[in-house]
């Protein structure tokens, strides 16, 4: 179909006015969010400039086919509107710019999880803002009119729009980067601020990540084993258990001093437990955190997982039969980082394979029977990893009705509003149910009279209207709060395992050592009695050679974003709690 370059006579001034209205219509779907971001001081003008430049590309179809300008603008505008809602909604909820990290997490979530998040953050004020946003876009669309250009003007505009929109950026990146691949990656980064391209680039990056994961099983198999590995428990029957929780903030656990009885079972077991009080996660997201927890990677060396063994591989090298039991909704056959870890185990139990995955029937107690069955396995040396759904959003789906214990304001901080109370209570109920599951795992393990230990930690925390951040719900690495990183770290050791350790006297401040789970593999192997050339005693919370260091949090692939956890604001004293009557 030939492009029209002539049509009804239109004065030049009117032609450019019509192009201006068309540009404003397309720009609107990127510009509104960017203006809000600039006004909030979240970011500077760079994103606005980049989005404004890329927007010029949408004018090209309109000037090539002016007779169909309204239809083309409507179709393109609908795509831009739909793709812009995610970024706009994210800003309205978090007050932060929608980023590549968020896009990756969104694509790595299933439909049920996404639905739960939408349910958590639903509010009529956001609906009203989106309705007004949509109405203004429709008004701008009614101003779009055909703009007929001469052939010379048409060619000039097309060249100009391409050059300004993407050409200059592409050439500049190619000139500055050593390889075409790096140039393309930077180019993609620079067009992300514009509506639609956020999603297109995000999905492309996601697919690339999945492709990389598909090769990791093969590359992991090629990684050399640890050098000079020795085991102080060699030749003994032993069972070691690692329980990985989800989204549990230790500050909401009574075993850590929280005023509400959220962990009655662990409270009763306190005398049998080592309860470490100053442990934090390096990042507030599951996959990114476990990439460090279960490997030799850390905040300063984020890529070490590519060249060093995982915890599963280390234990297999030490002669352990490995098991992975998970109630995590991401545990399908999709090729994610969690799949990599689980597939390295000798035996996997995937419990959350329902079509709807996260419905109320899928509670963490489902791990108990498979756990008991694995305990009966006759392998002389076993490593059992249990991955819980924990206190993940939506909290009300994480526990059965019998655990709907907290319903009022008793023990609730004064900052929690009536509108926040239900969610606040449901999180505490989820913590209380999680206490039942974790304590049941400990009891079932101890009943087998094992030679070994069980270690429980959460991947990261969760901010749920806590006094230190009264309006924050969830996790956001760009705006960190302490509850997003403070995690439980609890160890139960069997009597025989304790006896084998001799009479080592632990320092008085042993349980209060500041520690990041980014160095967890050193602690785990230390507790397991393993030694090897790569072992760093200074990075084991259980070692006599432990040395305190900064607790770094943030995205390690952006070193400038790393910060010291200790510098985050501290919550007010618990005296702010309201003791209401039932």
CB contact at 8 A, 224 and 366? no
Domain boundary among 157, 188, 207: 207
Domain boundary among 186, 207, 228: 207
CA pseudo-torsion sign 301, 306, 307, 310: positive
One domain for residues 309 and 189: no
Q: Which domain does 181 fall in, by range?
A: 12-207
CB contact at 8 A, 538 and 546? yes
CB contact at 8 A, 190 and 173? yes
One domain for residues 200 and 275: no
Residue 418, domain member (yes or no)? yes
One domain for residues 399 and 442: yes
In this structure, what CATH number is given to the domain that contains residue 342?
3.40.720.10
Residue 550, domain member (yes or no)? yes
For residues 549 and 509, what is the distance between their CA atoms, to the nearest angstrom? 15
Residues of the chain under the 70 pLDDT cut: 1-11, 41-43, 94, 96, 99-121, 173-174, 177-187, 189-190, 202, 205-206, 209-210, 212-213, 329-336, 353-361, 503-504, 572-582
For residues 92 and 94, what is the distance between their CA atoms, to the nearest angstrom? 6
One domain for residues 285 and 159: no
pLDDT digits (tens, 9 = 90+) for 346-392: 999 988 754 344 434 579 999 999 999 999 999 999 999 999 999 99
Q: What is the pTM of this model?
A: 0.72
Alpha-carbon separation of residue 511 from 22, 76, 224, 278, 515 (angstroms): 64, 59, 34, 8, 10
One domain for residues 243 and 200: no
Question: Tokens 């050409």 label which residue?
Answer: 167
One domain for residues 197 and 243: no
The per-residue pLDDT for 43 is: 65
For residues 500 and 435, what is the distance between their CA atoms, to the nearest angstrom? 29
For residues 529 and 551, what is the distance between their CA atoms, to the nearest angstrom? 25
For all residues of the chain together, what is the average pLDDT?
Answer: 86
Q: Is 237 exposed, middle or buried (0-12, 13-18, 19+ CB in 10 A)?
A: middle
- Is residue 336 classed as helix, strand or coil in its secondary structure? coil
Residue 221, domain member (yes or no)? no
Domain count for the chain: 2
Query: Of 373, 363, 437, whose CA–CA distance to 396 is shortest?
Result: 363
Residue 212, domain member (yes or no)? no
For residues 453 and 465, what is the distance between their CA atoms, to the nearest angstrom? 35
Question: Tokens 């958590």 label which residue?
Answer: 120
pLDDT digits (tens, 9 = 90+) for 1-45: 444 444 554 557 788 899 999 999 999 999 998 888 888 765 678
Tell me the two tokens of residue 559: 């070193």
CB contact at 8 A, 278 and 513? yes
One domain for residues 201 and 279: no
Across 70-81, b (16+ Cβ under 10 Å) vs e yields bebbeebbeebb
Domain boundary among 156, 184, 207: 207
One domain for residues 433 and 309: yes
Tell me the two tokens of residue 126: 């956001």
For residues 502 and 500, what is the distance between their CA atoms, to the nearest angstrom? 5
Residue 579, domain member (yes or no)? no
Residue 436, domain member (yes or no)? yes
- Is residue 382 classed as helix, strand or coil in its secondary structure? strand
Query: Of 495, 467, 463, whose CA–CA distance to 481 is shortest?
Result: 463
| Residues 6+ away with beta carbon under 8 Å from 395 | 423, 426, 427, 429, 430, 464
The per-residue pLDDT for 116 is: 63
One domain for residues 195 and 243: no
One domain for residues 417 and 361: yes
One domain for residues 330 and 248: yes
Residue 4, domain member (yes or no)? no
CA pseudo-torsion sign 215, 218, 220, 223: negative
Residue 232, domain member (yes or no)? no
One domain for residues 422 and 481: yes
The per-residue pLDDT for 507 is: 85
CA pseudo-torsion sign 37, 43, 106, 554: negative
């Amino acid at each position: 179909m030939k492009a029209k370059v002539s049509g009804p006579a239109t004065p030049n001034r009117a032609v450019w006015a019509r192009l201006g209205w068309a540009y404003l219509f397309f720009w609107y779907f990127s510009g509104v969010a960017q203006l809000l971001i600039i006004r909030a001081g979240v970011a500077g003008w760079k994103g606005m400039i980049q989005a404004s430049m890329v927007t010029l590309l949408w004018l090209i179809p309109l000037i090539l086919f002016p007779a169909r300008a309204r239809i083309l603008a409507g179709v393109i505008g609908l795509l831009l509107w739909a793709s812009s809602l995610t970024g706009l909604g994210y800003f309205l909820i978090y007050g932060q710019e929608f980023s590549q990290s968020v896009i990756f997490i969104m694509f790595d979530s299933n439909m049920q999880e996404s639905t739960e998040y939408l349910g958590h953050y639903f509010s009529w004020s956001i609906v009203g803002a989106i309705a007004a946003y949509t109405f203004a876009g429709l008004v701008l669309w009614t101003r779009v009119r055909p703009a007929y250009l001469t052939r010379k003007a048409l060619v000039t505009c097309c060249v100009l729009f391409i050059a300004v929109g993407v050409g200059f950026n592409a050439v500049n990146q190619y000139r500055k980067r050593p390889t075409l691949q790096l140039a393309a990656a930077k180019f993609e980064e620079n067009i992300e601020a514009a509506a639609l391209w956020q999603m297109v680039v995000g999905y492309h990056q996601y697919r690339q990540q999945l492709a990389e994961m598909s090769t990791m099983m093969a590359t992991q198999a090629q990684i050399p084993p640890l050098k000079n590995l020795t085991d102080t428990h060699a030749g003994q029957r032993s069972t070691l258990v690692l329980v990985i929780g989800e989204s549990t903030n230790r500050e909401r656990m009574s075993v850590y001093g929280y005023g509400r009885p959220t962990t009655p079972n662990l409270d009763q077991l306190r005398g049998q437990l080592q309860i470490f009080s100053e442990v934090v996660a390096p990042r507030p997201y599951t996959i990114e955190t476990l990439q460090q927890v279960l490997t030799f990677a850390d905040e300063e060396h984020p890529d070490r997982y590519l060249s060093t063994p995982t915890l599963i591989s280390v234990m297999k090298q030490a002669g352990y039969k490995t098991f992975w039991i998970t109630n995590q909704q991401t545990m399908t056959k999709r090729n994610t980082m969690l799949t990599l870890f689980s597939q390295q185990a000798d035996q996997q139990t995937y419990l959350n394979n329902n079509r709807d995955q996260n419905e109320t029937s899928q509670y963490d107690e489902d791990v108990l029977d498979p756990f008991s069955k694995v305990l009966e396995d006759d392998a002389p040396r076993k490593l059992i990893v249990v991955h819980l759904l924990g206190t993940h959003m939506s909290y009300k789906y994480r526990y059965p009705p019998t655990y709907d214990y907290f319903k009022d304001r008793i023990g609730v901080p004064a900052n929690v509003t009536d509108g926040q109370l239900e969610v606040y209570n449901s999180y505490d109920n989820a913590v209380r149910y999680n206490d039942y599951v974790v304590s049941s795992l400990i009891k079932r393990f101890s009943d087998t009279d094992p030679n070994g230990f069980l270690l429980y930690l959460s991947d990261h925390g969760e901010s749920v209207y806590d006094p230190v951040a009264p309006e924050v719900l969830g996790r956001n690495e760009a705006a960190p709060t302490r509850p997003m990183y403070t995690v439980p770290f609890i160890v139960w050791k069997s009597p025989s395992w304790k006896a084998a350790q001799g009479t080592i006297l632990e320092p008085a401040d042993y349980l209060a050592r500041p520690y990041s789970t980014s160095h967890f593999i050193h602690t785990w192997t230390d507790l397991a009695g393993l030694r090897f050339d790569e072992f760093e005693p200074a990075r084991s919370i259980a070692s006599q050679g432990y040395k305190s260091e900064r607790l770094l949090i943030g995205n390690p692939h952006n070193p400038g974003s790393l910060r010291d956890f200790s510098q985050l604001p501290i919550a007010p004293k618990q005296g702010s709690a309201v003791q209401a009557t039932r």
